[in-house]
């Protein structure tokens, strides 16, 4: 009997049975990485080309022509090359550019197929990651409809008791269903091509996202209704609890960008603001204590852009006062993280989170929905990352191991960690499973420990002086040989975070700062294949970093068993690791290279002045002005001047044609702040620049 002769209800039952059999056989039961051999393309490692000799024949024509010539020389036929569609292009501060391509056949995306190409500042092709399917041959059409695929995915992920929403219509390859109370976002089913060796068949990529527990799944259904793969795109952190005495977190007023800056051209705020609902282009932060995933009612209206509620950490976070603090803190941190990562390459075209992309590429309408004091759990946090153009959701919970409870919204480690999942899902992709999922957890910790320059993560929320991990990262002993799937992604992720903590120490010893390591980390994601292992991450860093930092990277990775000659291979059934503690001979046995000598004519800090202005009888503003010149005394423009204040804040300004730039701290208390000091710590990230460090003090008027 053919499928066309089955009634729709019988077809649905038959397809559900196929799905159930797949689950029982272990194909879809693992929510993160298990794949049947039917998903052969996604299971295959991408080809990575980084040797300059590889690109010797790809030097003529425009960027696309160079890539086409290179891939043709590697055996891709014309039909396959014609099927590549560019979806983004971005550039970094070194003038390098990065292009991403999807493979599309007969108007359908090929699941798991992509190309990432990097070009140096001169436009030469320098790095290619390729995973494509031969585009020739007939595509076997699916025997099921989008609604059937959606039904199978819902059953696999949430059970048969969850109703299939009403079908709303099909636009191109994408079918949409109605938004119901169970789902955070309307389910969808996209017709895609699944490559099974040389055979191509039509299938569906179904997206389902639950409202209550924030579980976001991408489920691949083949032409016969079998669950081929099931990827959970929500990263969640759960921690053991060891109670100690509550602590007190210092609170200080900090300025946003006002009308805008280079990272947020329209500023942070837009629309109507309340004390428990603050929204703008990058994030919409709100209180969600009733766990309905919408802003709670109440709060006060804010019309002047000043969110100044003071915390009282001796009281429960549920007080109205501390709820205001939770939302304003979460909104501020999300924007700081957005602007910081933007500076290092997580921009619109790289898939960042913004409502308005200002015509700079990527898909808009995807600012972060950040839910403060979410009522869906405790001692936890999570971040669900949909595809570019859909809003991710961050859920922050209260932590109950102390009395009163503590609020994850005021712990920047937790917020940085969660946002980091969005960064790696968008810039690398497929950050699920035992290996890539662990790297995602470790990479999120890396952002916290570097940004706060602290080897502990979440010590405030966790109420433990050593943080939430098995060890402080400065004392961590694990190597890649300790990787074991039974330990879970958080524990295995510590291996990667510990490696980059070591690397961060090496950078600082060699005279490199936060600017350099963050640039290398974010840019390295452009050179990393989706679904990476630990060695892929190492190689991405090496491809992105200047050569004078290569040995610092090798040294850190080799010390934890990921040196030259080491490897990591995996299958559905096993993971095989070959440890190596060897660094390349050029690194002289792992010794770190000395700091690079200052370039001739390097800018110098030639002056630092401070002024103060009274705003009211109770408030005043302090302003620092830095003066930068070359060795001949001529003013130098475009220099990034990094500074810190005696109140603990850090920041930077960029010199104008006059060689000057200024930074201010506003709303200082005339009673509590009789003075404030500014210390310039670096010029263009160079802490050894002439005249640095230098301090100036402003006193209240």
Is 47 inside a domain boundary?
yes
329 & 381 share domain: yes
DSSP 580-615: B----GGGGGGPPPPPPPPPTT--EEEEEEEEEEES
> Token digits for 551?
């040995």
Query: Cα dihedral angle (168, 169, 170, 175), rounded to 10 degrees?
Result: 20
Our measurement of the distance from residue 211's CA atom to the centroid of its chain's CA atoms, rounded to an integer in Å, reads: 22
Q: Looking at 532, 561, 596, which one is the last position of a domain?
A: 596
Average pLDDT over residues 314-330: 93
> Residue 341 falls within a domain, yes or no?
no
- Asked if residue 692 and residue 573 are part of one domain, the reply reads no
- The arithmetic mean of pLDDT across residues 663-682, rounded, is 82
Q: Please give the backbone phi and psi of residue 232, each rounded to the nearest 5 degrees, phi first.
A: -90, 120
Residue ending a domain, among 100, 131, 162, is: 131
340 located within any domain: no
The per-residue pLDDT for range 353-378, each reduced to its tens digit, is 999 999 899 999 999 999 999 999 99
- Torsion angles phi and psi, residue 543, rounded to 5: -70, -30
Based on C-alpha coordinates, what's the Rg of the chain? 26
Range with the lowest mean pLDDT among 106-115, 195-204, 642-651?
Answer: 642-651
Q: Tell me how many domains the chain contains.
A: 5
At 334, list the tokens: 């999300």
Residue-wise pLDDT for 178-216, tens only, equals: 999 999 899 999 999 998 877 889 999 999 999 887 889
Residues 148 and 230 in one domain: yes
Residues 285 and 209 in one domain: no
- Structure tokens of 118? 């990097």
Task: Check whether 27 has a pLDDT greater than 70.
Answer: no
CA dist., res. 36 & res. 24, Å (int): 12
The answer on 561 and 692 residing in a single domain is no
CATH of the domain at 657: 2.60.40.10
Give 680's Cβ-side CA count (13 Å radius): 33
Kindly state whether residues 78 and 174 are assigned to the same domain.
Answer: no
Write down the pLDDT at residue 241: 18
Q: Which domain holds residue 100?
A: 42-131
Partners of residue 629 on adjacent β-strands: 604, 635
Averaged pLDDT score across all residues of the chain: 84
Eight-state DSSP code of residue 253 = -
Lowest mean pLDDT across 18-27, 375-384, 415-424: 18-27
What is the distance between the alpha carbons of residues 677 and 135, in angstroms, rounded to a whole number?
A: 64
My answer on whether 451 and 477 are in the same domain is yes
Q: Would you say residue 56 lies in a domain?
A: yes
pLDDT in tens, 430-444: 999 999 999 999 999
Q: Are 183 and 48 in contact (CB under 8 A)?
A: no
Domain boundary among 552, 569, 596: 596
- How many residues does the structure list for the chain? 701
The answer to whether 439 and 532 are in contact (CB under 8 A) is yes
More confident residue, 105 or 673: 105
Both 477 and 514 in a single domain?
Answer: yes
Q: What number of CA atoms fall less than 13 Å from residue 116's CA on the CB side?
A: 23
Question: Are 424 and 443 a contacting pair, CB within 8 Å?
Answer: yes
Q: How far apart are CA 697 and CA 348, in angstroms?
A: 39
- 537 and 412 inside one domain: no
Evaluate whether residue 469 is within a structural domain. yes
Query: Minimal CA–CA distance to 463: which of 314, 239, 245?
Result: 245
Per-residue pLDDT for 313 more than 90?
A: no
Distance, CA of 184 to CA of 206 (rounded, Å): 14
378: which DSSP letter?
B
Query: Which strands sit side by side in the sheet containing 604-614, from one edge to the other?
Result: 604-614, 619-629, 660-669
Residues near 440 by Cβ (< 8 Å), separated by ≥ 6?
235, 420, 421, 424, 425, 431, 432, 489, 493
- What residues contact residue 375 under an 8 Å CB cut-off, 6+ apart? 288, 289, 290, 291
CATH code of residue 485: 1.10.390.10
Residue 274 in domain = yes
> Would 343 be classed as within a structural domain?
no
Q: What is the secondary structure of 257-324 as a DSSP string?
A: -TT--SSSTT-S--S-EETTEEE-SSEEEEE-TT-SSSPPS---EE-SS---PPP-TTS-TTSHHHHH
Which residues are catalytic, by number?
418
Pick the closest to residue 195 from 277, 113, 308 (CA basis).
113
- Whose CA is closest to 629, among 673, 582, 689, 563? 689
Mean pLDDT of 261-283: 89
Residue whose entry in the numeric block shows the structure tokens 């939770």: 326
How many whole angstroms separate alpha carbon 128 and alpha carbon 117? 5
Q: Which residues contact 10 (CB under 8 A, 6 or more apart)?
A: none
15 and 88 inside one domain? no
What was the pLDDT predicted at 427? 96
Show the tokens assigned to 526. Answer: 């452009």
Is the pLDDT reported for residue 461 higher than 70?
A: yes
Nearest-5° Cα angle at 254, 459 to 304: 130
Q: Which pLDDT band, with edges at 50, 70 and 90, does 548 fall under?
A: very high
Same domain assignment for residues 501 and 358: no
Q: Please check whether residue 194 lies inside any domain of the structure.
A: yes
CATH value at residue 299: 3.10.170.10
Closest Cα partner for 587 from 540, 525, 542, 528? 542
With tokens 């050894």, the residue in question is: 688
Q: Indicate whether 19 and 167 sit together in one domain.
A: yes
| pLDDT score, position 235 | 62
Instruction: Give the per-residue pLDDT at 541.
Output: 97
pLDDT tens digit string along 114-149? 999 999 888 889 999 999 988 877 888 988 999 999
């Amino acid at each position: 009997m053919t499928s066309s002769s089955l009634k729709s209800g019988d077809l649905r039952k038959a397809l559900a049975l196929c799905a159930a059999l797949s689950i029982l056989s272990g194909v879809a039961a693992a929510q993160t990485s298990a794949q049947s051999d039917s998903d052969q393309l996604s299971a295959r490692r991408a080809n990575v080309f980084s040797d300059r000799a590889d690109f010797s024949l790809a030097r003529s024509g425009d960027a696309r022509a160079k890539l086409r010539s290179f891939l043709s020389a590697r055996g891709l036929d014309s039909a396959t090359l014609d099927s590549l569609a560019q979806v983004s292009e971005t550039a970094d501060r070194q003038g390098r550019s990065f292009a991403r391509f999807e493979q599309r056949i007969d108007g359908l995306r090929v699941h798991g197929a992509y190309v990432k190409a990097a070009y140096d500042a001169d436009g030469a092709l320098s790095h290619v990651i390729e995973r494509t399917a031969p585009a020739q041959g007939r595509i076997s059409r699916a025997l099921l409809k989008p609604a059937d695929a959606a039904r199978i995915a819902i059953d696999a992920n949430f059970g048969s008791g969850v109703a299939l929403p009403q079908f709303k219509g099909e636009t191109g390859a994408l079918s949409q269903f109605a938004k119901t109370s169970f789902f955070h976002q309307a389910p969808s089913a996209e017709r895609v091509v699944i490559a099974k060796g040389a055979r191509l068949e039509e299938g569906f990529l179904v997206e389902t996202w639950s409202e209550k527990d924030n579980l976001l799944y991408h489920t691949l259904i083949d032409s016969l209704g079998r669950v081929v793969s099931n990827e959970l795109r929500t990263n969640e952190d759960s921690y053991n609890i060891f109670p100690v005495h509550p602590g007190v977190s210092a609170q200080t007023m900090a300025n946003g960008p006002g009308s805008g800056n280079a990272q947020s051209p329209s500023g942070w705020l837009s629309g109507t603001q309340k004390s428990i609902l603050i929204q703008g282009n990058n994030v919409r932060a709100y209180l969600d204590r009733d766990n309905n995933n919408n802003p709670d009612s109440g709060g006060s209206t804010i019309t002047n852009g000043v969110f100044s509620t003071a915390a009282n950490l001796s009281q429960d976070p549920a007080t109205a006062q501390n709820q205001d603090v939770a939302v304003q803190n979460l909104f501020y941190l999300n924007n700081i993280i957005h602007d910081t990562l933007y500076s290092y390459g997580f921009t619109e075209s790289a898939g960042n989170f913004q409502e308005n992309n200002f015509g700079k590429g990527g898909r808009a309408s995807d600012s972060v929905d950040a839910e403060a004091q979410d009522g869906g759990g405790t001692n936890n946090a999570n971040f669900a990352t949909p595809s570019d153009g859909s809003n991710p959701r961050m859920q922050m919970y209260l932590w109950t191991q102390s009395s009163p409870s503590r609020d994850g919204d005021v712990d920047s480690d937790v917020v940085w960690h969660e946002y980091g999942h969005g960064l790696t899902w968008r810039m690398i992709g497929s950050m699920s499973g035992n290996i890539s999922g662990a790297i995602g957890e470790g990479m999120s910790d890396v952002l916290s420990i570097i940004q706060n320059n602290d080897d502990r993560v979440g010590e405030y929320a966790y109420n433990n002086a050593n943080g939430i991990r098995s060890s402080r990262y400065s004392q961590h002993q694990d190597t890649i040989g300790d990787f074991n799937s039974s330990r879970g992604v958080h524990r295995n992720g510590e291996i990667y975070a510990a490696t980059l903590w070591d690397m961060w120490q090496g950078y600082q010893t060699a005279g490199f700062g936060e600017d350099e390591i963050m640039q290398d980390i974010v840019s390295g994601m452009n050179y990393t294949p989706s679904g990476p292992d630990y060695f892929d991450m190492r190689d991405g860093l090496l491809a992105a970093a200047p050569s004078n930092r290569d040995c610092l990277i090798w040294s850190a990775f080799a010390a934890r068993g990921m040196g030259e000659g080491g490897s990591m291979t995996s299958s559905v059934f096993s993971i095989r690791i070959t440890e190596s503690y060897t660094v390349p001979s050029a690194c002289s046995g792992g010794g770190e290279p000395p700091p690079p000598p200052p370039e001739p004519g390097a800018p110098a800090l030639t002056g630092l002045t401070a002024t103060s202005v009274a705003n009211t009888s109770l408030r005043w503003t302090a302003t620092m002005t830095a003066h930068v010149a070359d060795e001949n005394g001529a003013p130098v423009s475009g220099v990034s001047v990094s500074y810190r204040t005696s109140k603990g804040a850090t920041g930077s300004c960029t010199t104008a044609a006059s060689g000057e730039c200024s930074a201010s701290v506003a709303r200082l208390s005339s009673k509590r702040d009789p003075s404030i000091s500014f210390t310039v710590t670096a010029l263009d990230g160079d802490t050894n620049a002439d005249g640095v460090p230098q301090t100036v003090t402003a006193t209240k008027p």
